[in-house]
Each structure stands twice: as C-alpha cells, then as structure tokens.
Amino acid sequence: MFFLLVVVSICVVACSSKSQQSELEAMDYQLIFRDDAGRELTLADIKKVNGDVSYQIVTEASVPLDAKRLHAQGRELGSQGKYDQALEVFEKAHQLAPDWPYPLYDAAFTYLLKGDNKKALEYYIAVNEIAPRGFFTVKPAVDTLEREQAGIVNEGTYGLLVQLEWMKDLDAKKRILTQILEETPQLPLAWKELAVLLEDDEASLEAIDKGLSYQPDLETKGVLLVNKALILYRQGNENEAIAMLGELALDPESTVQTEHMAKATLASLLLDK
C-alpha cells in the first residue's frame, strides 16, 4: 500500500510538472504587441533580454589578431595624450580589418579630442556606414556635428556634451545643459540629456517632446521615446506605453540599442511585477 501511494504521488507530481511546463511554454508565446505590418512581439522575445547591447558587428574570430593588438596599442597611446601616434596605429588596424568599426570609432573620438571636429565627423560617418544600425554614440555624434557645421548649434557643442557624461555634479550638469539649450534649442541630444535629470514627470515630458520636435537621430529618438513610455506607464497610461515600446522593438529602422532598450524595458515592466 505504501508503495502504491508513492507511485501515485510521483505520478501526480510528474503530471503537475508537465502541465506547468506546458503552461509556461504557452505563456512564452503570449502576444504582447502586433504592429500595423503584422509583426508580433511575444513574452519569449523579451524574456532573456537585458539592457546590455552587443555592438560586435564582426565576430572576434574574423578580426585578425594583429588588428586587435594595434587597436589596443592605439587606445593606450590615446590615453597618454599621444593622439597623432594613436591615429597612425588606428589606421593600420583599420587596414587589416576594414569592416571592424572599433579602430575608426576610436580614431573619430581621437580627432574630437584634438579639436578637429571636421575630421571627427568624417570618421564617425565612416563608422555609421559600416554599422548602419548603430554603434555606441556614432549616430548622435554625426547628427550634432553636422548641426555644428551647418551653424545650427554652436561649434564645440558636441565636445562639451561628451565631457558632461563624466560630470558627477548633476545640478551643475543640469545648469550647463539648460544654458546650452537657451542658446541653441535645436539640439535633440541635449534635450535627451536634460530630460533624465528633471525630477518632475511633466517637465521631463516637455523636454522629451522638445527633443522629438527637432528631428533627432534614430539613436536619440529611441532613447527619448523609451523614456517617454516609462513616464506614461508610471502615470497609468499602460497600454499607450506598451504600444510605444512594442513599435520601437519591432521597427526595422530602430537601432540595435533602441530595440534592446525597448525589449528590456518591456521585460522590466511586464515580467518583474
């Protein structure tokens, strides 16, 4: 009798386990959002997504070791302020791995440090061509530097915004951003940076909408919209927020960062309750 009870117990547990597994698998394919083109986003699509973005356009195995070595050497020279030497080494790395964005990207930043914004823009554009779906800060850099060249914003503004990234005094950062925007409001990147520093939701939404009104680059636009969706969700507009994030996650024009941010945000809102 005891043996039979154990068998029954095991059967119940096993059957229950299989049932739960089936339910979990079914939940993975629960529809979250469908866009106008019929593309669908399910729980399975966001379940394993985190906030980390992989920008490895070319697999490590396909990049020659000499190119990696030269790239590392160039970064070391750059950190020592030996910019011209660093640029020479980055160029050699690029010649060995022409489809690898890192050497060009670091060369662009090195030109920015040298104060040669025209050359920096040239290199950022080259990276953008290799990695059209985004690569770190390339798209905001191209957009802002092009606005500088066109005289829409003051020259040197992008370099100043880059420096603000490492500023720990948030009040001082907010004051500088406010001053920049008072002088040149047509700067989406600055509105994006300011929006996250504002404590009041309505003020943040106003800054976000300002940034969106000035035709931001795709990277900046994505961040603005994700932040807007978070505020809307917090204010109780859950369906609107989920739809906004779903659109960003499924839109083929979204950058890699935007897609990952939208999915990670949806995962945080829907799975971490």
How do residues 204-214 score in pLDDT, each as one tens digit? 999 999 999 99
For 49, the token pair is: 């997504």
Helix, strand or coil, per DSSP, at residue 39: coil
pLDDT digits (tens, 9 = 90+) for 227-247: 999 999 999 999 999 999 999
Q: What is the pLDDT of residue 66?
A: 97
Could you give the C-alpha distances from 77 to 66, 72, 119, in angstroms and in order? 16, 9, 19
Task: Please determine, for residue 3, whether its predicted confidence score (pLDDT) is greater than 90.
Answer: no
Task: Please determine, for residue 26, whether its predicted confidence score (pLDDT) is greater than 80.
Answer: no
pLDDT digits (tens, 9 = 90+) for 118-154: 999 999 999 999 999 999 999 999 999 999 999 999 9
- DSSP state letters, 90-108: HHHHHHH-TT-HHHHHHHH
* Sequence-ordered list of residues with C-beta below 8 angstroms from that of 122, at least 6 positions apart, any chain: 108
Q: For residue 106, which of 147, 160, 67 has the smallest C-alpha distance? A: 67
Could you give the C-alpha distances from 163 to 79, 113, 158, 245, in angstroms and in order? 15, 10, 9, 30
For 14, the token pair is: 């096993």
pLDDT band at 47 (very low <50, low <70, confident <90, very high): confident
Of all residues in the chain, what percent are helix, strand and coil, respectively (each to 5)? 70, 5, 25
pLDDT band at 29 (very low <50, low <70, confident <90, very high): low
CA torsion sign for 53, 108, 253, 224 is positive
Q: What is the pLDDT of residue 21?
A: 46
User: Is residue 120 a contact partner of residue 109, using CB atoms and an 8 Å limit?
Assistant: yes
Q: DSSP character for 32?
A: E
User: Is residue 256 a contact partner of residue 222, using CB atoms and an 8 Å limit?
Assistant: no
Q: What is the pLDDT of residue 160?
A: 95
**All domains in the chain, ordered by first residue:** 33-51+155-271 (1.25.40.10)
Q: Report d(CA 107, CA 267) in Å as an integer.
A: 36
For 36, the token pair is: 């106008």
Q: What is the pTM of this model?
A: 0.86
Q: What is the pLDDT of residue 27?
A: 53
